[in-house]
Structure 1
Amino acid sequence: MTTNRRQFLKTSAGLTLGVFLPLQADAAGTLHTPNAWVHIADDNTITLLSARSEMGQGVYTAMPMLIAEELGVDIRKIKVEIAPVAPVYTNALLGGQLTGGSTSVREGWDKLRIAGAQARTMLVSAAAARWKLDAAQLRAADGKVTGPGGRSATYGELAADAAKLPVPEKVTLKEPKDFKIIGKRTKRLDTAHKVNGTAEYGIDVKLPGMVYASLEQCPVIGGKVASFDGAKAKAMPGVIDVVQIRDGVAVVADSYWRAKKAREALAVQWDEGAGARIDNAAMRDGIRKAADATIPIKKTGDAAGVLKSASKKLQAEYWSPLLAHATMEPQNFTADYRNGKCTVIGPAQFQQGTQGNVAAALGIKPEDVTVKTTFLGGGFGRRLEYDFAVQAAEISKAVGKPVKLLWTREDDTTHDFYRPMALHRMAGALDASGKPVALTLQLTSQSVTQRAFGLPKGTLDPFMAEASVVPYAIPNMTQELIEHDSGLRVGYWRSVSHALNAFANESFIDEMAAAAGKDPYQFRLSLLGEQPRFAKVLKLAAEKSGWGKPLPKGHHRGIALMEGYDTYMAQVAEISVDKDNAIKVHHVWVAADLGQMVNPDTVEAQIQSSIAFGLSSTLGAEITLDKGRVQQTNFHDYPVLRMNEMPKIDITLVPSGEKPGGIGEPATALIGPAVANALFAATGKRVRQLPLSADHIKSA
């Protein structure tokens, strides 16, 4: 703390729970009180400090809804500001101040409702003291406290008195039956700003005296500058400087275009390092031959023993490729280094990591780095990294000016932290009646958590084990993994290992159903007697899609089921395949049980978004390497789903009083196996590697 509570109250005209807002020039620091989320000013303005970044997923609406419900105010009366870096804003589900893992609502569900209820309780107590009445006689709603005899005071009028009261440790939260905001379809608060252009993304940031930088990086990730000649670049119009930083050579100019054009005139000699030996064939061979120790995930019964003696058994291998994040807003950050302190502004998912790593790169203390987060033009896990923020800070220090660093689309595609390549070895056994009696899964892939957070080798990475254990009543099952480092830097990608494991599991369950001569929907349903939430979404998806009923000629269905992020989901995909083995996805049905929903409108939008994102990787996206160089450079060879490729999507949301589940990611993981299973129904070919491209279909 750099201020005491009395000083705080003198400089803040209102009620702030837990956080000390810089309302005056001499006001700074954090008060470590029970929560740090709500500020009520004397003009009756209510501000939520959101600890989660807004990257299209709707937290700038969902989070205020949780506060507004308990405060009893119209959500449109609440403004949202991004929180500064502080320990109080740590995401308890992930262990850092970061946005990811479909945790925003799950982690904020109790925390933010309690924050709203604490503020409401303190306001009522302040009014009771002012009017010398029992608090039970008063009511807080519509931004004011009212009492008998026509007494009334706005929250703003009571805020200063309320701020002097102790923050209550225990408060009464509303029962779900009394919700007026939570669970209701609500228009997003940020839509108008994004439509009228007032929303600030990282790429929009402007500072006085700011210059622009374009960075030439080694074509092999991890390579370093051996030498360079920047004379031609420095002589070009508008160029201010050419500087070397750890990741490459930056051209700084008075406009981005001039910086980019001058960058093309650089002559750089690279030390490509060990990464130059990496290519796809070598990576696949290394994964297949990996001799790293096997790490158990879960074991039930004796799957190995049953497989040895089974009369009918199946084996298969499934491959998932490297993938880029392909955010629509290329990576960028603005930095202003001066006098031993640095401000960095841009699209961050991991504010804490950004602050710490910028500080380390500049040789200053973390508290001397201020991180300001803008809207994100897509995150998907890419902006959990901070390479581009560090680069901007290093360039700013080198040139002594505020600098906006902008990556090209080509930079972005060729210098990502890629979703790792993965191999699944699957085996299963059926009894004489076609009932599954054994199932094994072995995943060999790279651990992102080892790379990103130093997880000790040989330790189970939980972010590799997601959706590895199926819900089906199979008495003998073993799930295990091998953490094998392929040498390429990897990162968390939307739905992380759910997508890898669901593709293998749900495709192989379909294989077992086919071997048993049974309908894939009925086969799954027969194994869910003890899993009512799974069974319900499976039934709903099948019923809504008309499973078993005739389809137009050439159309076929596939089904898939998964739990991820505490959300239970089933999908049915209807596809056709043309003579050139190109897949057209016509219709997708989704049934989801994600517990208590905050904003059903956002839930539906997130499911639609996830399916679009997942279809891109299912149908065509793939990263390949040759001599350490990523071969794809832009959307022409790393395709993302186009408008005319988007299927019709029907969504059924299951009403539920269970704890909230996450929804930003699970649908991404499930669309792949649903389409793969439909492809088998259409062609009789089991394609066991993604993407489901014409070449892979032809060679299956």
Structure 2
Amino acid sequence: MSGTNGLSRRGFLKVLAGTAGALVVGIPFAAAADAPLPPAFLGDTLYGLGVYVRIDADGNVLIGARDPDSGTGSATTLPRIIADELDADWPRVTVVPLGLGVENGNDEPNWIYGHQLDGLGTSTPAAWSDLRQVGALARWLLLQAAARQLGVPAEQLQTKAGMVIAADGRRLGYGSLAEAAAKISPPANPVPLKTPDRYTLIGKPAGDVDAHAFVTGQARFAIDHRFGDALVAVLVHCPWPDGTLDGIDATETKAVKGVVQVLPLIPEPGQPLGSTVIAPAVAVLAEDTWSALQGRAKLKLQWKPGASNTENSAALELQAIDLLNDKNHAPTTRVRNDGDVDAANKKAAFRVEATYLQPWLAHTTAEPMNCLARIDKDHALLIAPTQAPQQAWAVVQRLTGFKPDQIEIRVPRIGGGYGRRLDHDYVAETVMLAKAAGKPVRLLWTRDEDFTHDFYRSASVHKLTATLDHKRQVISWNQRMASASARARRGVPEPRLWTSELDANQLPAGLIPNYRSDWYALQSSIPGGHARGMPHLNNAFAVESFIDEIAHSLKENPLDTRLRLLGQPRQIPLHGLGTTMDTARLTNVLNLVAERIEWKNWLRTVNGLGIACWHINGAYVAHAIEASLQRDKLTIERVVCAVDVGRAINPTGLEGQIAGATLDALSTALNLAITFKNGQIQQRSYKDYPLANMAQLPNSVEVIVVPGDRDPTGASFLAMPSAAPALANAVFRVSA
């Protein structure tokens, strides 16, 4: 549905000039939008494409997808929300990714599309809030035009699959009404939205709009784009993030045919991590990729290490353990403190303690960091795989000084984000090189650079203590966590650095009367950043594994332990959010996976069964996993996951997200760890950082989607937190 003919944006706008006969609806016209033109829309009746909805005289519908899609399915989900309210005929809908929507508001950026962000689970909730009105307004305008043409009140007309239908059976296609509808002034107030019983697309399964392009090799990512006169740039970064360039001999590099320039790059002093060059670097610019790589291989560089030269991941882990073992050491931040943990401890019948260690992790996106930029005198054009176009704009604006509408950012489909592309060091590098070279630049990171110069997820150590009374009730819970904040050196106030590491409302907060959560800051020069599922991923592993430890101490069914903690159905207030956690919904997903995997046999099966659950921003998830162990060979036999996200916009897409996140979490748990020695990352490729292969993973993930009519929540990483602890609990059971 989103095939294009590759016509450039400027050429496209020339084709559009002076056209008529089309209806355009959206949050105002976006001059900066990316607009590849579908072949079916070539003709004289084309109209502007910088808005969400376009209907041409033939009844074809074009819908823009505003949020970047890194595999989260937003390019399908968001347009279907609009199309349903529009009552569009989905087979006649073409989806086009919108670039950054920005206009000049007194030299300040006016974000035309509002939300343009991927990977944080906010795309669908935000779209549900505002994009339904876009489709409803287009439908309202079409009804008004039909009412005038048919001579009947608009209230007596209905819409269905791209048609307006009168009570007497007369029908008018949207295409025949588009020109008239485009001339009608919209109402001052929002128009009525559909009632759920009238949904025709929302809640119905649909494949990805780009599925055909993917399986036929026609999908174009940022790395596939070209400017004819662009130089290819490859980099060698300093092995230490705080090091400096101490010497360079580029004689042999410059002798390579096709090499044009060798340029140094230095991080801008005072800029937050992620907004400038990640480490000092030397760039080789050449006429083609081969020449650039050959020139890079012949560079002779001398680097001077910084203070990070003394850092080792193993030593930092020991430091964290010692920190948590020192009961007299005050936490950096007391995240939450309910009741009186110390008093409860004195009354306890017995106590359970455990320590959990988790390694540093990299993002390792399938599509390495890359960017294409042309910087002219008064205009910047970038094609970038960014998850946050507005933040990318801020980097470009700082480096160029251009006005808001002089910066154009196009965002093709992204080959994996996982939070890595919320940072824009690679964008800064490209703009710096394009300015210095005076020509367009196509920056390509090599895989070894991608591994050794990431914004990593910090390792963490969790020390958990729970006390129970004589009735086997947990009466106190104390979690102490040590990690390096992902928000350090990013302009975040020190009292808020904990927010990337812990969630004040994570389980079992609110379920236990005496609950304490402390964070201890580790200092590291290794760059940290947002990772998929943070801060839930590492905390869920510790918490849900620990609940099984408690169950083992009690010699009881781990499912029973969880259900007793959740208690009777009730709403638990979430601190600082004004919302609640629904224990009944969490209990439901637990029971669903338990029933599907036949948890009643957990004591009798020769295999191990593990279970875990979590909640994130009004969404609920549980995993149950069956694992076998033969001669130290672990086999994941079955994986069941149940999710409750409220109203599922696209059940097929949701199931894909849940299965993918589950497999990602299992792969992470089985194989992955980043280590550093003397300040240098030791892993340089997938050989050193092996993603799980098909033989290590289950044949399938059985996904249960709970039907619901509540407003939808995000699900891009919902299945990440509970998968790994469910696996760990299964392994514990089978190996006990």
TM above 0.5, one fold? Answer: yes
Which stretch of structure 1 is more off in the superposition, 494-503 or 135-144? 135-144
Distance 2:716 2:645 in 1: 11
Residue 666 in structure 1 maps to residue 681 in structure 2: no
1:46-80 deviations in Å (ceiling 9; x for gaps): 22222211111211111121111111112232222
Q: Paired residue for 1:252, among 278, 281, 285?
A: 285
Match of 1:211 in 2: 231
- Which residue identity lines up with residue 498 of structure 1 in the other structure? H
Gap runs ≥5 in structure 2: 1-15, 35-49, 103-109, 267-279, 570-582
Task: Return the match for 2:130 from 111, 114, 136.
Answer: 111
TM-score (norm 1): 0.89
Give 1:241's aligned residue.
261
Residue 622 of structure 1 corresponds to 673
Counterpart Cα distance in 2 of 1:463 and 1:173: 37
1:633 is aligned, of 684, 708, 731, to 684
State the one-letter code of the partner of 1:138. Answer: L
Residue 303 (structure 2) aligned to one of 270, 275, 279 = 270
User: What is the aligned partner in structure 2 of residue 599 from structure 1?
Assistant: 650
Indicate the residue corresponding to 1:436 in structure 2: 474
With 500-509 and 139-148 compared, the bigger mean Cα shift is at 139-148
1:192 is aligned to: 212
Aligned equivalent of 1:502, options 520, 540, 556: 540
Q: 1:223 to 1:361 in 2, by over 3 A?
A: farther
1:501 deviates by 1.0
- Does the aligned pair in 2 maintain the 1:359–1:366 contact within 8 Å? yes
SS of the aligned residue for 2:600 comes to coil
1: distance between equivalents of 2:662 and 2:169? 53
* Rounded Cα–Cα distance in structure 2 between residues aligned with 1:90 and 1:458: 32
Q: Once the 2 structures are TM-superposed, how far is the Cα of residue 366 of structure 1 from its aligned partner?
A: 4.6
2:573 matched to which residue of 1? Answer: none
Rounded to whole Å, the distance in 1 between the matches of 2:381 and 2:244 is 27
The whole-number CA distance in structure 1 between the counterparts of 2:421 and 2:458 is 17
Which of 495, 506, 528 aligns to 1:458? It is 495
CA distance in 2, matches of 1:635, 1:605: 24
1:383 is aligned to 2:421: yes
**Cα distance between partner residues in 2 of 1:352 and 1:370:** 11
Residue correspondence of structure 1 range 325-336 to structure 2 within 5 A:
325-336=363-374
Corresponding residue number in structure 1 for 2:60 = 45
* 1:573 shift after superposition: 1.4
1:392 is displaced (CA, Å) by: 1.7
**C-alpha deviations, 1:316-359, integer Å up to 9, x for none?**
22222110011111111111122243211021101011111123
The one-letter code sitting in structure 1 at the alignment partner of 2:516 is T
Query: Is 1:481 aligned to 2:519, yes or no?
Result: yes
1:562–1:568 contact (8 Å) kept in structure 2: yes
2:729 corresponds to: 677
- 1:562 corresponds to: 614
Instruction: Say whether the 8 Å CA contact 1:565–1:666 is kept in structure 2.
Output: no
User: How far has the Cα of 1:107 moved from its partner?
Assistant: 1.5
Conservation of the 8 A alpha-carbon contact between 2:242 and 2:525: no
RMSD: 2.6
Q: Is the 8 A contact 2:602 2:608 kept in 1?
A: no
Give % identity: 32
For residues 514-553 of structure 1, what are the structure 2 equivalents within 5 Å? 514-528=552-566, 529-530=568-569, 531-549=583-601
- Does structure 1 retain, via aligned residues, the 8 Å contact 2:24–2:51? no
Q: Within the alignment, does 1:427 sit opposite 2:465 as a pair?
A: yes
| Counterpart in the other structure of 1:29 | none
Query: One-letter code of the match for 1:618?
Result: A
158, 161, 165: which one aligns with 1:139: 158
Contact between 1:319 and 1:424, CA under 8 Å: does it hold in 2?
yes
Structure 2 counterpart of 1:306, which letter? A
Q: Report the Cα distance in structure 2 between the residues aligned to 1:395 and 1:408, rounded to whole angstroms.
A: 17
Partner Cα separation in structure 2 for residue 363 and residue 287 of structure 1 = 43
- The answer to whether the 8 Å contact 1:239/1:259 transfers is yes
DSSP 3-state at the match of 2:719: helix
Is the 1:287–1:486 Cα contact (8 Å) retained in structure 2? no
Report the Cα offset of residue 620 of structure 1.
Answer: 1.2
Which position in structure 1 is the counterpart of 2:38?
none
State the alpha-carbon separation in 2 of the partners of residues 679 and 138 from structure 1. Answer: 61
Q: 1:318 to 1:23 in 2, by over 3 A?
A: closer
Deviation at 1:539, TM superposition (A): 0.8
1:243 is displaced (CA, Å) by 1.6
Alignment equivalent of 1:583, drawn from 634, 644, 666: 634
- Aligned residue for 2:235, secondary structure, equals strand
Query: Which stretch has the larger CA shift, 601-610 or 363-372?
Result: 363-372
Q: Does 1:172 align with 2:192?
A: yes
Residue 464 of structure 2 aligns to a residue in which SS? strand
Query: d(CA) in 2 for partners of 1:120 and 1:298?
Result: 49
- 2:427 paired with 1:396: no
Give the whole-Å Cα distance in 2 for the aligned partners of 1:48 and 1:159: 15
The answer to whether residue 77 in structure 2 is matched with residue 77 in structure 1 is: no
Alignment check: 8 A CA contact 1:293 1:458 kept: no
Give per-residue Cα distances to partners, 1:410-450, cap 9 Å, x unaligned. 11111111111222221101112322111122222233244
How far did residue 9 of structure 1 move? Answer: 11
1:395 positional shift: 1.7
Equivalent residue, structure 1, for 2:141: 122
Superposition deviation, residue 249 in structure 1: 1.1
Q: Rate the CA distance shift 1:198–1:286 in 2: closer, same or farther, 3 A.
A: same
What is the aligned partner in structure 2 of residue 687 from structure 1? none
1:351 and 1:21 mapped to 2: Cα distance? 14
Q: Which moved more, 1:464-473 or 1:554-563?
A: 464-473
1:269, distance to aligned residue in structure 2 (A):
1.9
Q: What per-residue deviation string (whole Å, max 9, x for no partner) do you get for residues 658-700 of structure 1?
A: 221222112111111111111221223xxxxxxxxxxxxxxxx
Name the residue aligned to 1:228.
248
Aligned to 1:60: 75
For 2:460 and 2:618, the matched residues in 1 are separated by: 24
The answer to whether the 8 A contact 1:292-1:484 is kept is no
Could you tell me how far 1:401 is from its partner in structure 2? 2.2
Structure 1 residue 399: deviation in Å?
2.0
In the other structure, the counterpart of 1:491 is 529
Quick one: which amino acid aligns to residue 91 of structure 2?
A: R
CA-CA distance at 1:275 after TM superposition: 2.4
Deviation at 1:184, TM superposition (A): 1.0
Check the 8 A contact 1:336/1:344 in 2, yes or no: yes
Q: 1:89 to 1:101 in 2, by over 3 A?
A: farther
Distance 1:681 1:264 in 2: 51
Q: Distance in 1 between matches of 2:550 and 2:241?
A: 41
Paired residue secondary structure (1:527): helix
Aligned counterparts of 1:149 and 1:525: Cα–Cα separation in 2: 58
Which shifted more, 370-379 or 523-532?
523-532
Question: Matches of residues 300-379 of structure 1 in structure 2 within 5 Å?
Answer: 300-379=338-417
1:540 offset after TM fit, Å? Answer: 0.9
**1:91/1:496 CA distance change after superposition, 3 Å:** farther
Structure 1 pair 21/312, CA: closer, same or farther in 2 (3 Å)?
closer
Does residue 448 in structure 1 map to residue 468 in structure 2? no
Structure 1 residue runs of 5 or longer lacking an equivalent are: 1-7, 26-34, 685-700
Q: Which moved more, 1:216-225 or 1:227-236?
A: 216-225
The DSSP-based 3-state class of the residue aligned with 1:448 is coil
SS in 2 for 1:370: strand
Aligned match of 2:272 = none
1:461–1:77 Cα change, 3 Å? farther
